[in-house]
Amino acid sequence: MLILLSPAKSLDYETPPTTDRHTLPQFVPESAALIKVLKPYTPADIASLMNLSDALSQLNVARYAAWRPKFTGANSKQAVLAFNGDVYEGLDAASLKQKDLDWAQDHVAILSGLYGILRPLDLMQPYRLEMGTKLPNPRGKDLYAWWGDRLAEHLNAALAEQGDHVIVNLASQEYFKAVKRKVLSARVVECVFEDWKGGAYKVISFHAKRARGLMARHAIVKRARKVEVLLDFKAEGYAYASEVSDAGRLVFRRRLEGVA
């Protein structure tokens, strides 16, 4: 089983990592080529391309300038500890034991606009490059063209090594779109998290993102190799809703006390 996650926009390079164990990203030449495309961009160019504030545009231009193909403890940090958004607050990798991180290393894949696919302990230099960015490059008009079939082929190889064929998609559609389904030889299982609000169950972005991280943590701690293990997920009030689920779409619902 492979669990797919999206990256996060917010990053934490201030908190010291909780483990010294690390690996190198597997698409460094591809990343270096994208950095070469980005380096000529001015802060104004980046602001327009990515719809960022002046401050964030300047920060990311500086990041592209500082990026190096050699990853060290001084310029990088393990991806699962560097990402700091809602998903990663739910995952809370800093509190996982080393044996949990080791298992995650083989069973969790983080999709990335710059790095393609990151394993949890892959070192990562700070960046901002969302998969949906329309960045013209030598392979086409955007990052989907840039990555092409590579990510699906990489996941196929990782699953073949495991002797498995199941992908649990906890990534957003923006990121999962970079994995070409026609190339992917795996069975894909989507997890959907719904909260009760306004008289109906619906996906609420903030809660759903956190729940994806909670589910990833559940899978890691339980060493999930079969989809059935995911059905036991009950973190923070969610429960499997079999009546609205099917083999390819697992729905988990929550109705908090006092919410109409």
Domain locations in the chain? 2-254
The pTM of the whole model exceeds 0.85: yes
- Both tokens assigned to 162: 């495991």
Determine the length of the chain: 260
Block residue for tokens 């698409």: 27
How far is CA 13 from each of CA 49, 58, 125, 135, rounded to the nearest angstrom? 25, 18, 9, 26
Q: How far apart are CA 75 and CA 68, in angstroms?
A: 9
* pLDDT value, residue 76: 98
* pLDDT value, residue 257: 80
How far is CA 179 from each of CA 17, 173, 184, 220, rounded to the nearest angstrom? 30, 10, 7, 22
Q: How far apart are CA 199 and CA 197, in angstroms?
A: 6
* pLDDT value, residue 157: 98
The pLDDT tens digits along the chain (260 residues) read: 999 999 999 999 999 999 999 999 999 999 999 999 999 999 999 999 999 999 999 999 999 999 999 999 999 999 999 999 999 999 999 999 999 999 999 999 999 999 999 999 999 999 999 999 999 999 999 999 999 999 999 999 999 999 999 999 999 999 999 999 999 999 999 999 999 999 999 999 999 999 999 999 999 999 999 999 999 999 999 999 999 999 999 999 999 887 66
Q: How far apart are CA 82 and CA 11, in angstroms?
A: 5
* pLDDT value, residue 179: 99
